[in-house]
Structure 1
Amino acid sequence: MKAARARAELVSVDDYSKAAHRVLPRMIDDFVRGGALDERTLARNAAGFDDLWLRARSFSAASQVELGTTVLGSPITLPVMTAPTGASGLLWPGGEAATGRATAACGTIMQVSAGSLQSMEDIAAGSQGPKWLQLFLYKDRGLTTEFLQRAKAAGYRAIMVTTDCPVHGRRERDSRNGFTMERRIRFSRLVDTALRYRWWLRMAGAPQFSLRNFEGRATGGLVDMAAYIASVLDPDVTWADLDWLRGQWDGPLVIKGILHPDDARQAVAAGVDGIQVSNHGGRQLDGTLATIDALPAVVDAVAGKVPVLLDGGVRRGTDVIKALALGAAACAIGRSHLWGLAVAGERGVAAVLDILAAEMRNAMMIGGWRSVADLRRVSVCQLRRPDFQRELMNA
């Protein structure tokens, strides 16, 4: 009865966020929840959706709506993917594979982090749904080439090159916590452990934490391996390197981290197959544009040549609708699915995706949009921007 009551109370992504906060040790919770510096970009990612208002039409209610679409050749039943989130296995044993199973069951795409605790091969083998691999350009191009070869052999449908991580951002929550990924209970953590013992109990039987994709190249514990990865990131990547990468990978290539329309145009000219508007969840450069604020200019710059995706701040199905109305082909969720994972593993991730789908379906039925293809820029308005209003008047 108690478990059933708890599930009944989890009716929104925010509910899962609060429940995850109660379950996770503070150090892990802050690692998931935090952003760079003052976390202004992190906050704006979510708040930016609040400035957009839906324009429903009268006598247009749709008794049935279609949420499905196709992205880079993969049909999906929901225009919401799970974004690449490093070390998500810290939240639940085998967390990456659990996310993959839930994402596949919901009929959408999992974007897999290169910094997963499980190997890309194990994650790919864990479920049948389509998967894309996040990739960084490393100083050692041999390492980059190795990842590309492994991804192809494991059946990944696309590669996502992340552009906004030449170095790690300054995340003050992690610094204050002395963030480590060890399970040893130190004296300073005893109180936190006592309050959140469920995490320790469920992780006790999990394999030793390790970034499996880098085994054989980095030794020591997880902290040592994370330091190794930071040391091999290439801070001097240029557009010429993207040209090199395009020659190494013959499948779909998505560039993740675009905020400027000029970069979007250059990415298209370089032959990418998709663009993901992203600021790394506000974890890299604080004070940079929120993704929903950057989206319209990027969509206009691309002019329909490639699909544009968005991640950052999506907490409601109506957020997804607003992004699609502004031209996104689909959205990706990071923290939102991690909160579900922290609370209930695979079932929690599926529940979060189901909540977003139900919210989308409800809003579209009321607003009169029978499919995601019906969503247009005129479907939203932004009251604080007069130029946006003029654009709507001329639509």
Structure 2
Amino acid sequence: MVLLLPSWGRTPHVTKGKLMAKVQRQLPHPTELFDLIKFKKLDLNLKRARLSDAQTIDDLRKIAKRRTPAAAFDYTDGAADDEISMNRARQAFKDVEFHPSILNDVSNVDTSCEVFGGPSALPFGIAPTGFTRLMQTEGELAGASAAGKAGIPFCLSTLGTTSIEDVKAANPHGRNFFQLYVMRQREISYGLVKRAAEAGFDTLFFTVDTPIAGARLRDKRNGFSIPPQISLGTVANAIPRPWWWVDFLTTPTLSFASLSSTGGTVGELLNSAMDPSIQFSDLEEIRSMWPGKLVVKGVQNVEDSKKLADLGVDGIILSNHGGRQLDRAPVPFWLLPEVVREVGKDLDVTMDTGIMHGADIVAAMAMGAKFTFIGRAYLYGLMAGGEAGVTRAIEILAEQVRRTMQLLQVETIDELSPKHVTQLTRLAPRTQVHNLEHS
């Protein structure tokens, strides 16, 4: 027996005992065709068009790579030695399993939070980056301005290419932080601390992971130096990117707040400026002269976190410098839960390194981070389109943060907790054997 079902406009057809539905065909009416097909409106603003097409930070990275000479792009994109630390940090965020709740009203989510005694509209800020105007001539001014408009903090590096005062002018009402390297010439560092305080910067990052420069092999292979050196390879790489060179050659020459000499590779400049002899006494000296919040950047183990908490610093940043210093260094995201457990009640525990997606930020906040910082993600946006590109990077991450929170069904950042995240294990330490020679 064949059961006949309603055809809903289709003609039933039986073949070898099976009921088949034959779709009726007709020529579309022109008006119906235009209703079904909408042509994308042409945007004559090419920068706006390419940035609006970017849906992820990786999309911005691809644009940046097309538009930026190899040496400048690789300085941003690369890390130390075999780049193991950087890749592990990114993989750690990929190795996350989320655990959403159900039936919670998330029609409106609040992404705001507080860090280092002040507000932020989003749970991330812009990390300090050196030599930024070499990536794109708008440099730190673009980052500070975009951060201010988004309501998030911006941090200027000692090795930034824009003055403290100019960053303040670009972000007059937002939160500005200053990242300090203690240099061989202490007077330079002390002068920068004073200028940052006078300009109204509210937080100082005392950086502890850079006694010397890491082995930036991409920079050495590219012959990357400041100022850029011209070679046949440089010329060949520049030909399809004339806009970068026009920008570079028609804007003010690079200037550094802390360096009087700028000849040599980045590693050589760092080694000539940094002091490998800095100690806890230097931290105490800076504490005595800084009126705002004092944060130690580059912490990589629990013991140092506890020591810093006992010293009364206001916060720490778990960081391996984006994998740009010691390769095979600890992954901050893996370190985060134990550090939060030990010192999270005593100071603000924040982190950077490896963040390329808003879900990474949500995962870090769920595991106890008070805040996060983005470096490369911001620079990819900068290279892709100046301030507009930085704004697009912030928009992408903000949208991903909101979407992830809604899918987890949490309404506020404070609702995030370790129950929402499992850090899946890819690498685990082997049991260490002590006193093997006596066994």
The TM-score with structure 1 as length reference comes to 0.92
Which of residues 197, 202, 211 is equivalent to 1:166?
Answer: 211
When residues 46 and 166 of structure 1 are mapped into structure 2, their CA distance, relative to the original with a 3 A threshold, is same
Gapped regions of structure 1 (runs ≥ 5): 388-395
Name the counterpart of 2:157: 113
Which of residues 136, 144, 155 is equivalent to 1:92?
Answer: 136
Matches of 2:132 and 2:427, distance apart in 1: 42
Name the counterpart of 1:364: 405
Name the counterpart of 1:391: none
Is contact 1:82–1:109 with CA below 8 Å preserved after alignment? yes
Name the counterpart of 2:51: 7
More displaced, 157-166 or 286-295? Answer: 286-295
Is contact 1:322–1:380 with CA below 8 Å preserved after alignment? yes
Which of residues 243, 246, 262 is equivalent to 2:284?
Answer: 243
When residues 222 and 351 of structure 1 are mapped into structure 2, their CA distance, relative to the original with a 3 A threshold, is farther
When residues 106 and 121 of structure 1 are mapped into structure 2, their CA distance, relative to the original with a 3 A threshold, is same
Matches of 1:384 and 1:166, distance apart in 2: 32
Q: How does 1:67-82 map to 2 (within 5 A)?
A: 67-82=111-126
Matches of 2:389 and 2:266, distance apart in 1: 29
| 1:326 aligns to 2:367 (yes or no) | yes
When residues 86 and 130 of structure 1 are mapped into structure 2, their CA distance, relative to the original with a 3 A threshold, is same
Is contact 1:94–1:118 with CA below 8 Å preserved after alignment? no
When residues 356 and 281 of structure 1 are mapped into structure 2, their CA distance, relative to the original with a 3 A threshold, is same
| 1:278 aligns to 2:319 (yes or no) | yes
Which of residues 262, 266, 274 is equivalent to 1:233?
Answer: 274
| 1:311 aligns to 2:344 (yes or no) | no
1:222 deviation in Å?
Answer: 5.0
When residues 224 and 312 of structure 1 are mapped into structure 2, their CA distance, relative to the original with a 3 A threshold, is closer
Which of residues 94, 105, 113 is equivalent to 1:50?
Answer: 94
Name the counterpart of 1:180: 225
Matches of 2:400 and 2:134, distance apart in 1: 29
Aligned length: 383
| 1:297 aligns to 2:341 (yes or no) | no
Matches of 2:163 and 2:219, distance apart in 1: 25
Cα deviation code 1:33-81 (max 9, x no counterpart): 1111000001111111011111101222511100001112221111110
Given residue 164 of structure 1, which amino acid in structure 2 is its aligned partner?
D
Matches of 1:168 and 1:228, distance apart in 2: 9
Is contact 2:225–2:266 with CA below 8 Å preserved after alignment? no
Matches of 1:155 and 1:90, distance apart in 2: 26
1:297 deviation in Å?
Answer: 1.7
Bigger CA radius of gyration:
2
Matches of 1:261 and 1:224, distance apart in 2: 34
When residues 312 and 385 of structure 1 are mapped into structure 2, their CA distance, relative to the original with a 3 A threshold, is closer
SS in 2 for 1:195: coil
Which structure carries more helix by proportion?
Answer: 1
**Percent of pairs identical after alignment?**
32
Is contact 1:34–1:171 with CA below 8 Å preserved after alignment? yes
Q: CA RMSD in A?
A: 2.0
Given residue 277 of structure 2, which amino acid in structure 1 is its aligned partner?
D
Is contact 1:36–1:286 with CA below 8 Å preserved after alignment? yes
Which of residues 230, 243, 246 is equivalent to 1:198?
Answer: 243
Is contact 2:205–2:297 with CA below 8 Å preserved after alignment? yes
1:9 deviation in Å?
Answer: 2.1
Matches of 1:225 and 1:359, distance apart in 2: 34
1:225 deviation in Å?
Answer: 9.3
Cα deviation code 1:178-218 (max 9, x no counterpart): 1113356432322211122221122221111222x136xx2
Is contact 1:185–1:193 with CA below 8 Å preserved after alignment? no
1:289 deviation in Å?
Answer: 1.1
| 1:267 aligns to 2:311 (yes or no) | no
